[in-house]
Structure 1
Amino acid sequence: MRSTDPRQLAAAAFEKHFGGLPETAAFAPGRVNLLGEHTDYNGGFVLPMALERLGVGIAAARGDAPGKVELFSSTFDAVRTRTIDEGRAGDWSDYVLGCLKSACAEEIAASGIRIALATTLPMGAGLSSSAALEVATLKAASELFGRKADPVSVAVEAQAVENGFVGMPCGIMDQFASSVGTPGMALFLNTRTLEYAPAPSIPGYRFVIVGSGVSHQLTEDGYATRVAECRQACNLLEVAMLSDLGVDALGGTPGFPELLHRRVRHIVTENQRVHDGLEALRTADAGVFGRLMLESHISQKDDYEITVAETDAIVETAIALGACGARQTGGGFGGSVLALVADGDLEAWADKLTATLPHTTMIAIV
């Protein structure tokens, strides 16, 4: 039987491609976000969950030429040969190269490196495959060259690589969930202070990740636009980050642009939803948590304008078929929908959803 362990898949890919065994292998999970969308780059609160068995495996060994970076992706069946002193090239290898340059450029300049990667995450599903790739690369490189790195430092370094080398202005939620989170357990995170705490699940209920069939990989311009809009709002409101604002700041400012007002309203109310959602998890209140999920989706749709017709339809259908709550999860413009469903209804609910919306896929139940 073929292994589903990303580490083993990466090691097998390494041996097949390079003709030898790797010196080390590392794994980093993807994540699903329960509540808190686009709040992380605004210094706000998030409630992600690292995924079990869904993530990125990296197998690595020293190379045979100084400065040479040889990469093989079993997922894309693609080979890239880079050098450690190169800049951004504009494809998937940038995520790996940027991490290698950050973590161990001197060592690779001396020995070179060979890397094979494998993923069990569906591409474009909004489950943070890029962050998992960064975290797994940093973990593998640190182990290969005998460097110690604590999980929080790895998350910070991975975000810096994505911001500075890859050029994506993301917050730290994805990298933090992948590096620090415990698979299968929700994590409350203050993205401004990096204070975090585990959050419980709700007995008798499961979260279901539903793929929409619409890849969110086409959203980088939209994502960057939302970041820029938030920065513009901060400048006009004279605050450092939108997380400085409370719900009492939503009364409106004379002359403040309506579009920016809606963007601010999403961030402020979403921050409050994360706090309320954490309390709902702690009190095992599925009804409240489900309501917050739906409110989050509506806010993403109307105020932040990052949903698509396909994810809107999944949310509407999921609720109509009996889910307690549902929302688009991830960066937006497609990807996946997360639904909260009672254990006893799960099988029938999933069958009805896929029958009603044949383009959907059941990615995972967590």
Structure 2
Amino acid sequence: MSSTPLDRVVAGFADRFGHRPDGVWSAPGRVNLIGEHTDYNEGFVLPFAIDQRTYVALALRPDRRARVASEGFDEDAEISLDDLGPTSVSGWSAYPLGTAWALGRVGGDLREVAGFDAYFVSEVPTGAGLSSSAALECSLAVALNDSWKLGLDGTTLVRAAQLAENEVVGAPTGILDQSASLLTERDAALFLDCRDATSRNVPLGLEDAGLGVLVIDTRVTHAHAGGGYASRRASCEAAASALGVSALRDVAVADLDAARAVLDDETFRRARHIVTENQRVLDTVEVLGTTGATGIGELLVASHASMRDDFEISVPELDLAVTTAMDAGAIGARMTGGGFGGSAIALVRTEVADEIGDRVTRAFAEHGFTPPRIFTVTPSAGARREQEQHSR
């Protein structure tokens, strides 16, 4: 079997279902440049799509059955579209089948559509904080939007994928991951206002500046549906309620001294991270538009310190990755993603990327940690149709 994911997804589909797909679609994972846990607080985020993608080969069926399979999972799943609901699917198939259900909730009419066969191949590492789940959801969202001729725009597809994550998978995530996977342009980051879901692409200019983004996957796995993520969200909601605002988005940095008198220490620190992180996103967008990416290093480092000390979602491996990368000459570094494991990123000059990666690998060995997986990512385009296939 050919080694490219595009070839593998077409061949895997034919092997699993016995016929050719109608087409292939893909959606990328994402790196969040800055703005962590601000999304569900109606704040600002600045992710970009990466060149690692999830591919789905899909064909419509003459009946109402939905069948999903994946190169990465042993178990297939099959269900009637008439039986789809938040509690009717489980395991990995909750992501794609939940997305199919959610499309009917955000504007698509699924009563008359055909069933489908779908087969997935992913390059996005799981558990690394690079949003492999959103890539899976969004690849199927664009495939079904095209195949079912729903005519839904990108923002509506974002809502469908988020609804699947919240109501079917059970992870209380915001719209950051799905927006990055669906809406981002090449060599740009997506400046997203999570209150009204408006967004615009902000040019990064990394190639022209001789810069790259190094991802340091600590291989400490995490799960957003677990208690740590949910408890942080609950703290933020409690802080907003105590401060008399609808969301922490409405609290400014200048308000923090007054907030300290109202909140207990832990809740205050959780809120302080969100408030200062929102400001760091705004500052990063401003610096990108003036100085360029070489000027955002201190903001990245401050973001990591806030997540480590105030939000308490880092782990020793992430802290070591950030500290070592900075000592080795990175412009800036921070953990990225939901926390409790996953990846750090380092903004580096391309000529020293390998040296920085080697330094981090040696530091992990010296501390007895699992060897990290380190690779460079390129800011890439969002979800798209890759190719059409001949009829079966």
TM-score of Structure 1 vs Structure 2, range by shorter chain = over 0.9
For 1:317-336, list aligned pairs within 5 A: 317-336=324-343
% same residue:
39
Residues 1:76 and 1:282: Cα distance change in structure 2 (over 3 Å): same
Deviations 1:289-313 (A, max 9, x none): 1111111011001110111111111
For 1:291-330, list aligned pairs within 5 A: 291-330=298-337
Answer yes or no: is 1:164 the counterpart of 2:167.
yes
Question: Conserved in 2, the CA contact under 8 Å of 1:26 and 1:136?
Answer: yes
Deviations 1:268-294 (A, max 9, x none): 100011111112222345554111111
In structure 2, the partner of 1:209 is 215
Residues 1:90 and 1:107: Cα distance change in structure 2 (over 3 Å): closer
CA shift for structure 1 position 230? 0.9
In structure 2, the partner of 1:346 is 353
In structure 1, the partner of 2:117 is 114
For 1:1-366, list aligned pairs within 5 A: 2-5=2-5, 7-52=6-51, 54-63=52-61, 66-84=63-81, 85-87=83-85, 88=87, 89-103=89-103, 107=110, 111-201=114-204, 202=206, 203-217=209-223, 220-253=226-259, 254-286=261-293, 288-358=295-365, 359-366=371-378
Given residue 161 of structure 2, which amino acid in structure 1 is its aligned partner? A
The alignment covers a number of residue pairs equal to 363
CA shift for structure 1 position 197? 1.9
Question: Conserved in 1, the CA contact under 8 Å of 2:102 and 2:163?
Answer: no
CA shift for structure 1 position 218? 6.6
Question: Conserved in 1, the CA contact under 8 Å of 2:23 and 2:58?
Answer: yes
**Partner SS state of residue 214, structure 2:** strand
Structure 1, gaps ≥5 residues long: none
Q: Which has the higher contact order (CA 8 A, sep 6+)?
A: 2
**Partner SS state of residue 148, structure 1:** coil
- TM-score normalized by structure 1? 0.93
**Partner SS state of residue 321, structure 2:** helix
Given residue 376 of structure 2, which amino acid in structure 1 is its aligned partner? A
Question: Conserved in 2, the CA contact under 8 Å of 1:210 and 1:363?
Answer: yes
User: Partners in 1 of 2:202 and 2:114 — Cα distance?
Assistant: 43
- TM-score normalized by structure 2? 0.87
Given residue 365 of structure 1, which amino acid in structure 2 is its aligned partner? V
Residues 1:33 and 1:68: Cα distance change in structure 2 (over 3 Å): same
CA shift for structure 1 position 232? 0.9
Question: Conserved in 1, the CA contact under 8 Å of 2:288 and 2:295?
Answer: no
CA shift for structure 1 position 342? 1.3
**Partner SS state of residue 246, structure 2:** coil
User: Partners in 2 of 1:232 and 1:107 — Cα distance?
Assistant: 38
CA shift for structure 1 position 205? 1.7
Structure 2, gaps ≥5 residues long: 366-370, 379-392
CA shift for structure 1 position 20? 0.7
* CA RMSD across the alignment: 2.0
User: Partners in 2 of 1:184 and 1:10 — Cα distance?
Assistant: 26
State which drifts further: 180-189 or 280-289: 280-289
**Partner SS state of residue 296, structure 2:** helix
Given residue 123 of structure 1, which amino acid in structure 2 is its aligned partner? T
CA shift for structure 1 position 185? 2.0
Question: Conserved in 2, the CA contact under 8 Å of 1:286 and 1:324?
Answer: no
Given residue 316 of structure 1, which amino acid in structure 2 is its aligned partner? T
State which drifts further: 291-300 or 164-173: 164-173
In structure 1, the partner of 2:382 is none
State which drifts further: 337-346 or 242-251: 337-346
Question: Conserved in 2, the CA contact under 8 Å of 1:188 and 1:199?
Answer: yes
CA shift for structure 1 position 98? 1.3
CA shift for structure 1 position 255? 4.2
CA shift for structure 1 position 82? 2.7
**Partner SS state of residue 99, structure 2:** helix
